[in-house]
Amino acid sequence: MSQNTVTRQTFDEIMVPNYAPSSFVPVRGSGSRVWDQEGKEYIDFAGGIAVNSLGHAHPALVEALHEQAQKLWHVSNGFTNEPILKLAKQLVDSTFAERVFFCNSGAEANEAALKLARKYARDHYGPEKHEIISFVNSFHGRTLFTVTAGGQPKYSEDFAPLPGGITHVNFNDLASVKAAISDKTCAVIVEPVQGEGGVLPADPGFLEGLRMLCDQHNALLIFDEVQTGVGRTGSLFAYMNHNVTPDILSMAKALGGGFPIGGILTTAKVAASLVPGTHGTTYGGNLLAGAVAGKVLEIVNTPEVLDGVKWRHQKFVEGLSDINQRYNIFSSIRGSGLLIGCVLNADYQGKAKAFTNAAEKENLMALIAGPNVVRFAPSLIIPEEDIAEGLARFERAVAHVVNA
């Protein structure tokens, strides 16, 4: 039992208390199943918060990591490297992007996107053009700049003074954007589906409307696809579901399939503002991340996986609707692809955590997205039988909450 010399209790004793992790400690995973220290098996509908795009220990990813680990791990950005250049090529070949930048996380990707937007506006129009428009309830990460760009004041207010020049308007409300945008706006940043804010998709026409308003005011349109990108919605990126292209796209989560990596996609014209010395990161674009993400992209960017997301979405929605018929807990089931939000009805307001806690007792890993939404973000290739078994476990959890 040597691996049991640390336990969940150890967390409370020696870790900074900024997280409240589940009661069990996962030690091993395979596909969409995870085992804890006691050998108990769980079905994973959480996917490491939309990260484990190909499940746990996918053999091709293990091989890519292992192969690279034997060759070269890290050289810094004083040198370029083959895995990261190959990954950049894959992204340029399959998206609007002409230029790519890599970092280590979603917050860092948005930090780079926002800094680039400020720098681009300053270079082309002068320092007055620095205002950023973002949305109420949006989430863009936890650095001071990104937490301020995010539209959930509870995450930023205790860290004041905050960076200035950021305005929040209502999501899916073009009129409020129109009222706020001006020639001083350098960028609008938006999630195509608000993830942490409750799995709320952009209405048809909303993103297209933002594109028009940005063009009218020479502002850059930034899509935060940290949660929606790399296959999550059934397209390689969520912008592909709309008749619109951003100027900058940030990505992370699913890109590394569990290996930390983030990045931005942009055009050659916009990228030109980040000349040598203007921005950087020590680890960003390292060889291990490049090798793993290259393999993730190769596997995800295929009709088999992307179309698979669509039928799996149907399976989830059908199963969850059946559960809702029997227990009447959700007012709606929304989202895109394998980013699914179940909105609790008036009887269960504020109770999302009760459902995921009950799910844990039924050996199911699930997520919340705010106090009123139960969220599922499983592997993009979760087997059909794991969906069925996970939904059966979820139904038992629901029964437990409803009958409590």
Ligand X SMILES: *Cc1c(COP(=O)(O)O)cnc(C)c1O
Residues that bind ligand X (CB under 6 A): 105-107, 110, 139-141, 191, 195-196, 224, 226-227, 252-253
CB of 373 to ligand X, least distance (A): 14
CB of 107 to ligand X, least distance (A): 3
Nearest CB to ligand X, comparing residues 44 and 191 = 191
CB of 105 to ligand X, least distance (A): 4
Q: Which distant-in-sequence residues (6+ apart) come within 8 Å of 243 by Cβ?
A: 208
> Do 192 and 207 form a contact (C-beta atoms < 8 A)?
yes
DSSP string, 15-63: S-TT----SS-EEEEEBTEEEETT--EEEESSHHHHT-TT-BS-HHHHH
Nearest CB to ligand X, comparing residues 151 and 195 = 195
Q: What DSSP character marks residue 307?
A: H
Nearest CB to ligand X, comparing residues 227 and 235 = 227
Nearest CB to ligand X, comparing residues 290 and 319 = 290
d(CA 361, CA 28): 18
CB of 228 to ligand X, least distance (A): 7
> Do 198 and 341 form a contact (C-beta atoms < 8 A)?
yes
CB of 162 to ligand X, least distance (A): 17
> Do 402 and 370 form a contact (C-beta atoms < 8 A)?
no
Q: Which distant-in-sequence residues (6+ apart) come within 8 Å of 283 by Cβ?
A: 74, 104, 289
Task: Give Dmax over CA atoms of the chain in angstroms.
Answer: 64
Nearest CB to ligand X, comparing residues 134 and 363 = 134
Nearest CB to ligand X, comparing residues 224 and 362 = 224
Nearest CB to ligand X, comparing residues 68 and 134 = 134
CB of 61 to ligand X, least distance (A): 18
- Closest residue by beta carbon to ligand X: 106
Two tokens, residue 240: 């592909």
CB of 150 to ligand X, least distance (A): 8
Strand partners for 28: 35
Two tokens, residue 199: 């799995």
